[in-house]
Structure 1
Amino acid sequence: MRHVIALDVGGTGMKAALVGADGELLHQARRATGRERGPDAVVETILGFAAELRGYGEQHFGEPASAAGLAVPGIVDAARGIAVYSANLGWRDVPLRRLLGDRLGGVPVALGHDVRTGGLAEGRIGAGQGADRFLFVPLGTGIAGAIGIDGGVEEGAHGFAGEIGHIVVRPGGTPCPCGQRGCLERFASAAAVSQAWAEASGDPEADAADCAKAVESGDPRAAAVWQEAVDALADGLVTALTLLDPRTLIIGGGLAEAGETLFTPLRAAVERRVTFQKLPSIVPAALGDTAGCLGAGLLAWDLLETDITDRSEVTT
């Protein structure tokens, strides 16, 4: 059975799959990233994990994987196949496409940014299916975004397209590690809500999920924390939709797990802010934590389809 290898590398864990031509997850596996052992060890873990997946495919499907897709965090030069920088993983300028291709016996390899890769999957087979233009925004430890256009995801001239988390929504506000002050992710990420609710509740162990539950139970302190995050998120999203005019806004990540506790006030806050802009649909992500892996598989299949097209053009 023809298949590809898909790997989604996170700060603490890796998700992997063998993906069939129809997008079916034929085999899934997980492994700790092991970042505490250093960047070289992380790279070796990725390569070894992929080699194991190749072996599994040979044993169970009668042939090795035809290609591989790899999604990683940080700054990614997808065109050159280089993981430029990741603060979480500590690496710089790692030629992952070449290294993985060599380990897998020369099969074609696609490298992508984790959020853009997840956005690719949400756009093609998830919540954005059928939308010609969408914006995927996962609300996790930080906030990033993926700009979907006609079945693909925009990389930008330098690989930074979609960094909505660093739109300044509160000028002069909380310092951000990026060097600015008042960035969206300092107010509306799951990490920011967790910190704000821990301070407001007096419980240092409280997190964003606890805040959402307190909102649902009618706690006014939680409601104030939650509304501040929703207002900041709405400000950032309206800036983005003013520039990009998406048909659909897809919200994912840990904060979106609050369901309508998030989406009902968020839709209202965005609607209050739009003037001439066309109000997009605001929907929850559909693929959960499999989005990055599925997207990596799509990147790999895209490589194979491009190769077939190129060879067809040469022979005609």
Structure 2
Amino acid sequence: MKHVIALDVGGTGMKAALVGADGALLHQARRATGRERGPDAVVADILDFAAELRAHGTEHHGEPARAAGVAVPGIIDEAEGVAVYAANLGWRDVPLRALLAERLGGIPVALGHDVRAGGLAEGRIGAGRGADRFLFVPLGTGIAGAIGIDGRVEAGAHGFAGEIGHIVVRPQGAPCPCGQRGCLERFASASAVSEAWAAACGDPDADAADCAKAVDSGDARARAVWQEAIDALADGLVTALTLLDPRTLIIGGGLAEAGETLFSPLREAVRRRVTFQKLPSLVPAALGDTAGCLGAGLLAWDLLETAGSPAPSTPSEVTT
């Protein structure tokens, strides 16, 4: 059965799949990234993981993978296939596409950004399906974005289009590792909410999910923390929609798991801020933490499209 390898490499874990030509997830696997062992070890593990997936496909599906797609965080040179920089993985200028192609017997390999790959999947087969223009914003450890236009995701001239997390929403606010002060992700990411709620409630182990539960129970301290994050996020989103004019605004990541505790006040906060702008549909992401892996598979199938194997349009049930 024709299939491709899909790999989504995160700061703590790697998700992988074999994806069939009809979109079926033929096999799934996960493992720790192991970044504490250093960047060279992470690269070695990625290559080993991909080789294991290739072997699994050959054994269980009758032939090796036709192509591979890998999504990684940080700054990516997609044209050259180089992972330029990733702070949470500790690497610089890793020729990941060439390394994977060599390890996988010379098959085509696509290298993409993790959030843009997730946005590609949400746009084609998830919450943005059918939208000609969308913005995908996952709220996780940080905040990034994927700008979707007519079924593709914009990388930008230098590989960092969509970095909404570094829009300054609070001038002279908290310092950000990027070098600026007051960036959106310092106020509205899951990690920022966790930090603020831990300080407010006095429990160093409290996190954003705990804050959301406290909001639902009526805790005034939690509501103050939550509203600060909502207001900052709405300011950043309105800046983005003013520039990009998306038809659909897709919110994902860990913070979106709060459901309407997040979405109801966020929709209202965005609505209050727009003036001449057309209010987009603001919806939760549909694919959860599989979006990056599914997007990596779509990147791989896109490489083969000109050879007569079109990218799948909808995912099927998982088999192992």
Deviation at 1:308, TM superposition (A): 4.5
SS in structure 1 at match of 2:299: helix
SS in structure 2 at match of 1:237: helix
2:313 corresponding residue in structure 1 = none
Partners in 2 of 1:169 and 1:205 — Cα distance? Answer: 27
2:264 corresponding residue in structure 1 = 264
Partners in 1 of 2:61 and 2:209 — Cα distance? Answer: 41
1:312 corresponding residue in structure 2 = none
2:162 corresponding residue in structure 1 = 162
Unaligned runs of 5+ in 2: 310-320
For these two proteins, the number of residue pairs brought into alignment is 309
How is 1:237-248 mapped onto 2 (pairs within 5 angstroms)? Answer: 237-248=237-248
2:229 corresponding residue in structure 1 = 229
Partners in 1 of 2:141 and 2:199 — Cα distance? Answer: 17
Deviation at 1:307, TM superposition (A): 4.2
Q: TM-score, normalised by structure 1?
A: 0.97
Find out whether 1:66 has 2:55 as its counterpart: no
1:136 corresponding residue in structure 2 = 136
Deviation at 1:301, TM superposition (A): 0.1
1:114 corresponding residue in structure 2 = 114
1:22 corresponding residue in structure 2 = 22
Partners in 1 of 2:41 and 2:225 — Cα distance? Answer: 40
Q: Deviations over 1:84-120 (max 9, x none)?
A: 0111111110000000000000000000000000000
SS in structure 1 at match of 2:215: helix
2:290 corresponding residue in structure 1 = 290
How is 1:1-316 mapped onto 2 (pairs within 5 angstroms)? Answer: 1-308=1-308
Partners in 2 of 1:2 and 1:140 — Cα distance? Answer: 34
Give the residue type in structure 1 aligned to 2:15.
Answer: K
- Higher deviation after alignment, 34-43 or 136-145: 34-43
RMSD: 0.8
Deviation at 1:217, TM superposition (A): 0.2
SS in structure 2 at match of 1:250: strand
SS in structure 1 at match of 2:265: helix
Partners in 2 of 1:22 and 1:230 — Cα distance? Answer: 39
Partners in 2 of 1:157 and 1:254 — Cα distance? Answer: 29
Deviation at 1:287, TM superposition (A): 0.3
Deviation at 1:125, TM superposition (A): 0.2
1:313 corresponding residue in structure 2 = none
Partners in 2 of 1:141 and 1:32 — Cα distance? Answer: 17
Identity of aligned residues (%): 86
SS in structure 1 at match of 2:93: strand
SS in structure 1 at match of 2:112: strand
Partners in 1 of 2:34 and 2:65 — Cα distance? Answer: 25
Partners in 2 of 1:249 and 1:169 — Cα distance? Answer: 19
Give the residue type in structure 2 aligned to 1:299.
Answer: L
Partners in 1 of 2:37 and 2:265 — Cα distance? Answer: 43
Deviation at 1:31, TM superposition (A): 1.0
Deviation at 1:4, TM superposition (A): 0.1
SS in structure 1 at match of 2:236: helix
Which structure carries more relative contact order (alpha carbon 8 Å, separation 6+)? Answer: 2
SS in structure 2 at match of 1:115: helix
SS in structure 2 at match of 1:49: helix
Q: Deviations over 1:21-51 (max 9, x none)?
A: 1221110001111111111111110001000
Partners in 1 of 2:22 and 2:298 — Cα distance? Answer: 10
Give the residue type in structure 1 aligned to 2:9.
Answer: V
SS in structure 2 at match of 1:299: helix
SS in structure 2 at match of 1:272: helix
SS in structure 2 at match of 1:14: strand
Q: Deviations over 1:169-189 (max 9, x none)?
A: 001111000010000000000
Q: Deviations over 1:228-255 (max 9, x none)?
A: 0000000000000000000000000000
Partners in 1 of 2:42 and 2:307 — Cα distance? Answer: 30
Q: Deviations over 1:188-208 (max 9, x none)?
A: 000000000001111111100
Unaligned runs of 5+ in 1: 310-316
Give the residue type in structure 2 aligned to 1:275.
Answer: T
Deviation at 1:306, TM superposition (A): 3.1
Give the residue type in structure 1 aligned to 2:302.
Answer: D
Q: Deviations over 1:266-298 (max 9, x none)?
A: 000000000000000000000000000000000
